[in-house]
Amino acid sequence: MTLAIGTPERPLRVAIIGAGPTGFYTADHLLRSTQATVEVDLFDRLPTPYGLVRLGVAPDHQKIKFVTNAFDKVAANPRFRFFGGVEFGKDVTLADLKAYYHQIVYCTGAQTDRRMGIPGEDLSGSHPATEFVAWYNGHPDYRDCSFDLTQERVAVVGVGNVAVDVVRILCRTPDELAKTDIADYALDALKRSRVREVYLLGRRGPAQAAFTNPEVKELGELADADVAASPDEVELDPLSAAAIERSQDRATQKKVEILKEYARRQPAGKSRRLNLRFLVSPVELTGDGRGGVAALKLVRNELYATSAGTLQARATDQSETLPVGLVFRSVGYRGVPLPGVPFNESWAVILNDRGRVLDPDTKQPIVGEYTAGWIKRGPTGVIGTNKPDAAETVECMLEDLAHGKVLEPANPAAAAAEALVRQRQPNYFSYADWQKLDAIETARGRAQDRPRVKLTSIEEMLSALNRR
């Protein structure tokens, strides 16, 4: 007689791809299960865990990063292992994992940005905001990017939290930045920045802007940047006013009040100015004749109500030209397909039903494959939103286990999986390795009165561990 899977003698073995917040939340829900004994191996293509908490969250928002304390508790479970620097589809394939695990969960997030789809988007001087974010946060793949910070006028397209982070980092003084864990090379580059005028461009009105009230308040408290808004753009249109009135939405009321106060402010003569613009959409980037950006052509928008009651923007016949030499677009993230995993092009997510990956032809679940987080539902919500999302996926996983619907790996031993990883990627990083790197980074930070000084290349990390 064979023992059931999910018992201490025959634990359910799960591989999670992607060590961002969702990967940890998924591991946490699985390891806490009272229904089954589960062993989790968490893979990431980068040597370091935490995904966008380390490489996306702005360096001047350290408090948000405290969520990693919860992730470390998950990692302390003896049934948890981390395999960093191991890329799915390259170092280990889906076929490999099927030979070692009962279930596989994809938590790879949304790794690329959405394009604006307008002429001139590919001029040098026009970048995805996410590249700038990855660069200033010390992402090993982006450390060699360069941005022309000799430009005095910069536009950031979008009003989500990434766009707001980018304008804030551009407007911070070297002293403000020097207290953060921003990558050293980015700190040096930003110290030499000649940026003077920064524009944040919103497609819809102030009431529809995705940024939160604390985020917008922070923009009015920058040490050496004046914030400005134009009175006619922050004045509520009748549709927005009615919508706020109907829903008694006090947070949005407050947001509009803050913005109106910015529109009334007199400039205090600070070195930089941050201009918050609403109801405008870029329609074209014009070149300077040398391949760079000279200006952004904008069209003015008006709002209309859809049949479901949402206020959307549509172009009017009024336009303007905004001279800028550097443009960052932040109009949304997009998921990237994984090798051998069904993808839903319409929503840029893995094709799934509540986290169960579906066969594209039959629309039926594929045994043993699951997904959670942004690659499951698209890039929405805050870090914590991924916790209930992961719980939904884990619920499906345990339900399938109870019905015997799991993979039948030829080699379901923990030691065998580790041997495979070691063979494919001898330089993989364990959680113990990460903890050593973490101690080194924080010690370097302490010496400079910073939260940490990041190691930003794989070579640096290997040599810090005396492995090179």
Binding site for other proteins (CB under 8 A): 50, 53-54, 62-70, 208, 243, 246-247, 249, 306-312, 344, 346-347, 349, 351-356, 358, 363, 376-378, 380-389, 392, 438, 442, 451-452
Q: CA–CA separation, 241 vs 379, rounded Å? A: 28
Residue with smaller CB distance to other proteins, 65 or 81: 65
On whether the CB atoms of residues 124 and 292 are closer than 8 A, the answer is yes
Pair type for strands 356-358 and 352-353: antiparallel
Looking at the Cβ atoms of 55 and 296, the one nearer to other proteins is: 55
| Complex with other proteins: residue 291 or 388, whichever CB lies closer | 388
Six token digits for residue 363: 């629309």
Considering the complex, what minimum distance in angstroms separates the CB of residue 70 from other proteins?
Answer: 7
CB of 235 to other proteins, least distance (A): 20
Pick the closest to residue 176 from 54, 272, 50, 277 (CA basis). 272
Distance in Å, CB of 307 to other proteins, minimum = 6
Which is nearer to other proteins, 221 or 345 (by Cβ)?
Answer: 345
Question: CB 179 → other proteins: shortest distance, Å?
Answer: 13
Residue 277, classed as helix, strand or coil, is: strand
Tell me whether residue 169 or residue 372 sits nearer to other proteins (CB atom): 372
Helix (H, G, I), strand (E, B) or coil at 155: strand
Smaller CB distance to other proteins: residue 310 or 318? Answer: 310
- Residue number, 64 or 223, with CB nearest to other proteins: 64
Q: How far is the CB of 109 from other proteins (least distance, A)?
A: 13
Minimum CB–partner distance for residue 399 and other proteins (Å) = 15
Of the two residues 1 and 66, which places its CB atom closer to other proteins in the complex?
66
Q: How far is CA 200 from the centre of its chain?
A: 19
Please state the closest distance from residue 344 (CB atom) to other proteins, in A.
7
8 A C-beta contact, residue 108 and residue 43: no
Q: In 129-217, where do the E strands start and end?
A: 153-157, 197-201
User: Measured between alpha carbons, how far is 127 from 124 in angstroms, rounded to an integer?
Assistant: 8
| CB 48 to other proteins: min, Å | 9
List the beta strands (DSSP E) in 151-217. 153-157, 197-201
Judged by beta carbon, residue 317 or residue 345, the one nearer other proteins is: 345
Considering the complex, what minimum distance in angstroms separates the CB of residue 274 from other proteins? 24
Alpha carbons 205 and 311: distance in angstroms, whole number: 9
Nearer to other proteins, 36 or 315 (CB): 315
Would strands 12-17 and 103-106 be described as parallel, antiparallel, or unpaired? parallel
Q: Is 350 helix (H, G, I), strand (E, B) or coil?
A: strand
Residue closer to other proteins (CB basis): 102 or 377: 377
Q: Which long-range contacts (CB under 8 A, 24 or more apart) does 309-318 make?
A: 309/243, 311/204, 311/205, 311/207, 311/208, 311/239, 311/240, 311/243, 312/204, 313/203, 313/204, 313/279, 313/281, 315/281, 315/283
Eight-class DSSP state of 107? -
The residues near 263 (Cβ < 8 Å, ≥ 6 apart) are 228, 229, 230, 231, 233, 234
Residues 49 and 68: their CA atoms lie apart, in Å, by 9
Q: Angle between the 386-402 and 21-31 helix axes, to the nearest 10 degrees? A: 40
- Please list the alpha-helical segments (H only) found in 336-385: 374-377
Give the whole-angstrom CA distance, residue 235 versus residue 230: 9
Least distance between other proteins and beta carbon 181 (Å) = 8
Residue 8 Cβ, how far from other proteins at the closest point, in Å?
Answer: 30
